[in-house]
Amino acid sequence: MKLIIGLGNPGSKYERTYHNLGFMAIDALCIECGLTKGKNKASSVVFETFINDEKVVFAKPQTFMNRSGSAVSSLMNKYGAENEDLIIIYDDIDLELGKVRIRDLGSAGTHNGMRDIISFIDSEDIKRIRIGVGRPPANIELKDFVLMNIKSNEIPTFRDAMNEVVDHILGK
């Protein structure tokens, strides 16, 4: 089984922000797989399917980003998932805009949501897909930057990034 979790913040206020790229990736995966109706389970909205005869759960935790660890831990318990079953998708200021980087393990870097997950499951041995948002301008605080709406001229760049994530997850 695979448990693929996109990080973000719940609520319409955050839908189009940089910090919700993980949710956007889950949405893109669900569209590609024809999944339209999620269920509320383990403090998350989940979408269940099978890909190549393997159960796959896409999830969007409904805790706020910096508290993602409790939802991820609950999801792992609910589905009997191990660390090797996890893939976490999230935004990253340390990557240039639209760059996708896939790693099998590593530190949380500057990402508080990932830091919380690592703390809850007590391991850095988690596959992750990071989507670059670039650094904030000098006059904007990091927390304000990641909660800003994505600029309209950046949408094509992020659409390409989502396509890359979908292709990777679905093995295209």
Q: How far is CA 155 from the centre of its chain?
A: 17
Q: φ, ψ for residue 141 (rounded to 5)?
A: -65, 150
| Pick from 20, 23, 48: nearest CA to 34 | 48
Two tokens, residue 42: 């383990």
Say how far apart CA 76 and CA 159 lie, in whole Å: 29
Closest CA to 113 of 155, 148, 146: 146
In angstroms, the CA 77 to CA 161 distance is 30
Separation of alpha carbons 135 and 95, rounded Å: 8
- Reduced to 3 states (helix: H, G, I; strand: E, B; else coil), residue 39 is strand
Known active-site residue 111:
no
Considering 5, 19, 44, 117, which one is annotated as catalytic? Answer: 19
List, by residue number, the catalytic residues. 19
